[in-house]
Amino acid sequence: MANTAEAFPQGMLPFTAHRVELSPGVWTTPEWGDDPLLAPSTQILIDRAGGSLRGKRMLDVGCLEGGYAAAFARLGAREAVGVEIRDSNLERCLFLKEQLRLDNLIFRKGDAKQISRETLGAFDIVFAAGLLYHLDDPFDFIRRAHEVTDDLLLLDTHVAVPHAWAHACADRMTARVWGGRSYAGREMTEYPPDLSADELDQCRWSSHGNPTSFWLTEDSLVDALWDVGFPYVSKVYMKRPYRDPEKCSWECRVIVVAKKAWTTSSLGR
């Protein structure tokens, strides 16, 4: 299908990641990118929510270009809220809302590291894809996510693999202490610390405000979810290789679902 980019503001298209059909035959990317309506994380979220997103209040943290939040709104969420800190990404989010005419879709400028129940309210479902491994304090984010989650949290994230290098993570395993407990992982360089504010805004896939991040191991991620108060944590096993275009040297991408209560919907449909 053709992408008539000339019909849209200069520089708006193409998007870098989210492939969304804006109108028949018009997409935010011509060929590449994930279609959030069909992505594995979306389908898993629907399954773990009991087969439908209808009536749910949902939060997409670090929503990038807004494709997933828009998908949740199109799939019947009562309200889908996307939080994004970069102006260049937020511009695309607002463009999506305008093009798709979704009254139940809301975008807010905000820092994923500062989400709270006081500022955002409570959500049935919190979704964070491609975010956790960009943070220097993933434990604090998990704690905050627990605070705003009423039912379930889905994390689609890279994890550090103890016996193999992945991406640009440090060769050496290390540990961080949060809440009096040690969590294992690897450090990752996100961007040069001397970038200007404008240059940082254009690093659309990196962290914001922390030049280095910390990748938890899968075991430490599960421990952190338990430690902040999620009693039920499960991993979704994907057919290998998952996220192969990212050329991981090992299976370092996982989807983890954490729930606050065990119900029949925890088993899916």
d(CA 182, CA 160): 15
pLDDT digits (tens, 9 = 90+) for 231-265: 999 999 877 655 555 556 567 889 999 999 876 55
Identify whether the C-beta of residue 67 lies closer than 8 Å to the C-beta of residue 93: no
**Reported confidence tier of residue 165, pLDDT bands at 50, 70, 90:** low
pLDDT of residue 20: 96
Residue type, 156: D
Containing 43, the helix (H) or strand (E) segment is helix 40-48
Q: Does the structure show a pLDDT above 90 at 269? A: no
Q: Does the structure show a pLDDT above 90 at 129? A: yes
- Dihedral, CA of residue 191, residue 192, residue 195 and residue 199, to nearest 10: -40
**Reported confidence tier of residue 2, pLDDT bands at 50, 70, 90:** very low
pLDDT of residue 263: 62
d(CA 173, CA 220): 12
pLDDT of residue 169: 82
pLDDT digits (tens, 9 = 90+) for 74-128: 999 999 999 999 999 999 999 999 999 999 999 999 999 999 999 999 999 999 9
pLDDT digits (tens, 9 = 90+) for 12-63: 888 999 999 998 888 999 888 889 999 999 999 999 999 999 999 999 999 9
pLDDT digits (tens, 9 = 90+) for 183-237: 999 999 999 888 888 888 888 778 999 999 999 999 999 999 999 999 999 999 8
CB proximity list for 98: less than 8 A, separation 6 or greater: none
pLDDT of residue 247: 56
20-160+218-261 is classed in which CATH architecture? 3-Layer(aba) Sandwich (3.40)
d(CA 69, CA 76): 11
Domain regions of the chain by residue span: 20-160+218-261
Q: 3-state SS of 123-183?
A: EEEEEEECCHHHCCCHHHHHHHHHHHEEEEEEEEEECECCCCCCCCECCCCEEEEECCEEE
- C-alpha closest to that of 60 among 34, 41, 47: 41
